[in-house]
Amino acid sequence: MKLKDLPLINEPWKPWKNFYKEQVPNFIAESSTGKHYSEWNKDTFYEYFERSAGQCVSSLRQGYFTKVEQDKIKKNWTKVMPLLQQISNSQQQPLFEVYDELRKVIRQYTAQDRRAATFRLIAGLQPQLLCTVVNHGKLGELHNFLKNNVENYTFKWTDNWFKNSHGILEFYKQELGNSNSYDIMTFPWQTYLHFKNKNSDNQSSIEIDMSENQYEETINLLHYKKQIILQGPPGTGKTREAKEIAKELLQLTSDVIRGAISVGEKISNASGAVDYYTITSITNDSVSLSSDRTTQDWSAPYTEIIEKYEQLKNGQIPANQNGTHPYSLAIAKHLNQLTSEKLFDSQFKLIQFHPSYTYEDFVRGIVAESKGDKIEYKNVNKTLGLFAKEALENYKLSRNNNHEAVINRWVDEKFEEFKADVEQRVEEKMLLLSGAIGIFQVEQDCFRYGVEWQVPSRINFRDFKQIVKAVIDGHLALGNPIPRHISVHAYHRNTYYVSLLNDFFEKFEFKSINSKEREKNYVLIIDEINRANLSSVLGELIYALEYRGKEVNSMYKIEDSEQLVLPPNLYIIGTMNTADRSVGHIDYAIRRRFAFVDILPKDLSDDTSIKFDSKLFADVAQLFDNYLSNEFEKKDVQLGHSYFIDKTEEGGTMAIRLEYEIKPILLEYVKDGILVGENIKDEILKLAASI
């Protein structure tokens, strides 16, 4: 479809558009003078800089500058103002270098990179050059929606929000024939909502909020690179963070919900009362609950469950009013507490590498199967091969022209049923094809027939499925001779192939399905990725990691094909312990294909959900400041924060954890020459828990 074919409307969006058109010219007028913020109109400055939620460019309920950060920026306004002035005075030409310079200046006064907040400041001064989607993650989603669904969209995504924002806005201007951004400023957001609602099963409205969550930067990196490694010293929660990132990537849908719960299962209510509800039915539209306290059943629609799940995931407090809210919230809380493995099942895999892990364990290999008195060896897909195949199938089915993918899936599914049926039948007696000649055995890649012949012949699975597809596509009439261009092998064995083909279509009838499958993300977490020899384990996939969607040839042929593809919707997250001496096994060719994200120790004293021994954490950190060998960096070996969380309820008081977890690893560091010094052992033994 073309952009102008989308239902982009003005009327419901007028209040926001009018507010934007009223305020943004004031921002430009004030900042273009180069005045100190104290000389600005107070209402204008509040709207431009101090207001977080409900602001005219975009709302930021989370992730905006804190009060302390705002004060620091205002205190250093003389460094900020010249750049704002320069930007304001360039309304027709984007100043990408100045944008980046302003971002660096502001970053000096913030505890973390407030990207969306900074982008909003700049977008508020460049209405003709930058769009209002200031959240880079949401802008990336918009880019993908346009790329996959809208004609003439050729913009190449970069890692720079300013260039992406400018490029996307220019596309809207060109396609809509309107060079005035004030008229179309709501359209990028409307487009985002149109496809977001369509793809998520959630048709309820989404607040115009551009807040960023704590994993957003890593998720953006993962969208760009497709595979990352979370690296850090022991105890920093790398695997836990990988699972949380996976949850962010894996979108909740009605299909996912149906797969994660079951009739008869008991769940808590929204207030936390255990086993309060029983799931009584699961339909295409909703989930029904009952309680021992009443004979009535309550229904929770999927759209509402999904909405409340997303709110919980983003740290928001969902509404719990009358109607269906209490039941939807109860299910949403139940889903939010499930592990990624349980909730997303077929879209999520977690494996752990070890030194003896090989390509044959990870990608493709050989397995032995007992066939009566014989042992048969066959090539099979392993963890990544199977996962990539499933992701690729979904990716193809989600494309606009998915007729071929629909047929391929149907043929694959029905052929497996047919093969099992043939296998069962030939166990009892030979399946006749012509006269006394018939199938007597089902092998790894073929049906074997002609038992009395000196060399029994075969009906290849791959050729047979190709002929089935030709019949479905109308290239071959059932019963007609099989032409050479469809299958040379079948051409020379026409009688036997045609006989089995008739048998197949007596059992199965293809019915065309025009529905487009929703594209899903698939996430593979590889724990301790550096413990295996990656060059050996990955083999030819080193190429496939970089060139997603391109075929590579495996050394193992499956169904007469060596080809392997890693599709764009398959994401890989590795975790790596930087204190492990096997880190050096990751060579430069592999490093170039992964992005590396540091997960470092941090003081969790402010986390009220846990008991954290901040004093012991500081004391141990001090050991690394005072006794660390010059051959190591503190960030690679310092003990992570998870070691200092009290687990008394599980039997692990801080005193026990110190004695049996913390001290042993510190003493091992001494043996390995990581911690050095005459009295280092005494300092370790003197450590004491404070909670």
Residue where one domain finishes, among candidates 447, 478, 507: 507
Identify whether residues 177 and 99 lie together within a single domain.
Answer: yes
Taking residues 123-148, report their average pLDDT: 92
Sheet holding 437-442, edge to edge: 431-434, 437-442, 446-449, 457-460
Question: Residue 258, Cα to own-chain centre: how many angstroms?
Answer: 20
Question: CA nearest 366: which of 355, 375, 353, 354?
Answer: 375
Question: CA nearest 442: which of 456, 508, 509, 468?
Answer: 456
Residue 683 in 3-state DSSP?
A: helix
What pLDDT does 378 receive?
78
> Each residue of 83-118: pLDDT tens digit?
999 999 999 999 999 999 999 999 988 877 788 899
Identify whether residues 261 and 317 lie together within a single domain.
Answer: yes
Task: Give the amino acid at 484.
Answer: R
Mean pLDDT of the chain: 89
512 pLDDT higher than 80: no
Q: What is the DSSP letter of 679?
A: T
Question: CA nearest 573: which of 594, 549, 600?
Answer: 594
Identify whether residues 296 and 411 lie together within a single domain.
Answer: no
> Phi and psi dihedrals of 525, rounded to 5?
-100, 125
In a domain, 367, yes or no: no
Q: Which residues contact 354 (CB under 8 A, 6 or more apart)?
A: 528, 531, 532
Pairing of strands 561-565, 551-558: antiparallel
In a domain, 391, yes or no: no
In a domain, 398, yes or no: no
What pLDDT does 670 receive?
96
> Each residue of 583-641: pLDDT tens digit?
556 888 888 999 999 999 988 887 777 899 999 999 999 999 999 999 999 999 999 99
> Each residue of 278-293: pLDDT tens digit?
999 999 899 999 998 8
What pLDDT does 371 receive?
60
What pLDDT does 206 receive?
42
Residue where one domain finishes, among candidates 507, 539, 560: 507
What pLDDT does 164 receive?
94
In a domain, 550, yes or no: no
> Each residue of 165-223: pLDDT tens digit?
999 999 999 999 998 999 999 999 999 888 876 644 443 444 455 565 667 778 878 88
What pLDDT does 198 receive?
61
CA dist., res. 226 & res. 548, Å (int): 9
Identify whether residues 623 and 675 lie together within a single domain.
Answer: yes
Identify whether residues 63 and 171 lie together within a single domain.
Answer: yes
Question: CA nearest 32: which of 94, 68, 82, 73?
Answer: 82
Q: What is the DSSP letter of 548?
A: T
**Which letter, b or e, does each residue of 347-374 get, where b requires 16 or more Cβ atoms within 10 Å of its Cβ?**
bbbbbebeeebebbbbbbbeeeeeeeee
Label residue 466 by pLDDT band (50, 70, 90).
Answer: very high
> Each residue of 515-553: pLDDT tens digit?
567 788 999 999 999 899 888 899 889 999 989 999 998
Strands (E), 161-314: 227-232, 266-267, 277-282, 286-290, 297-301
Identify whether residues 261 and 306 lie together within a single domain.
Answer: yes
> Each residue of 404-446: pLDDT tens digit?
778 888 999 899 999 999 999 999 899 999 999 999 999 888 9
Domain carrying residue 29: 3-212
Identify whether residues 267 and 237 lie together within a single domain.
Answer: yes
> Each residue of 43-58: pLDDT tens digit?
999 999 998 878 889 8
Helices (H), 434-512: 461-472, 488-491, 494-507
- Mean pLDDT check: name the lowest of 227-236, 311-320, 401-410, 649-658: 311-320
Identify whether residues 132 and 22 lie together within a single domain.
Answer: yes
- The count of domains in the chain is 4
Q: Which residues contact 427 (CB under 8 A, 6 or more apart)?
A: none
Identify whether residues 315 and 184 lie together within a single domain.
Answer: no
Identify whether residues 195 and 256 lie together within a single domain.
Answer: no
CA dist., res. 363 & res. 387, Å (int): 10
CA dist., res. 132 & res. 224, Å (int): 22
Label residue 513 by pLDDT band (50, 70, 90).
Answer: low
Residue where one domain finishes, among candidates 188, 212, 236: 212
In a domain, 136, yes or no: yes
> Phi and psi dihedrals of 259, rounded to 5?
-80, -20
Question: CA nearest 37: which of 69, 71, 61, 6?
Answer: 71
Identify whether residues 342 and 408 lie together within a single domain.
Answer: no
330 pLDDT higher than 70: yes
Taking residues 126-139, report their average pLDDT: 92
% of the chain surpassing 70 pLDDT? 93
Partners of 258 in beta bridges: none
582 pLDDT higher than 90: no
Taking residues 60-78, report their average pLDDT: 85
CA dist., res. 630 & res. 628, Å (int): 6
In a domain, 226, yes or no: yes
In a domain, 493, yes or no: yes
Q: What is the dihedral of CA 147, 153, 158, 164, to 10 degrees?
A: -110
DSSP state string for 583-647: GGGS-HHHHTTSEEEE------TT-TTS-B-HHHHHHHHHHHHHHB-TTS-HHHHSPPGGGGB-B
Distances (CA, A) of 650 to 539, 603, 645, 647, 654: 43, 22, 12, 5, 11
In a domain, 562, yes or no: no
% of the chain surpassing 90 pLDDT? 59
Identify whether residues 156 and 254 lie together within a single domain.
Answer: no
Give the burial class of 429: count Cβ atoms within 10 A of its Cβ; 0-12 exposed, 13-18 middle, 19 or more buried: exposed
C-alpha angle 573/575/576, rounded to 5°? 145
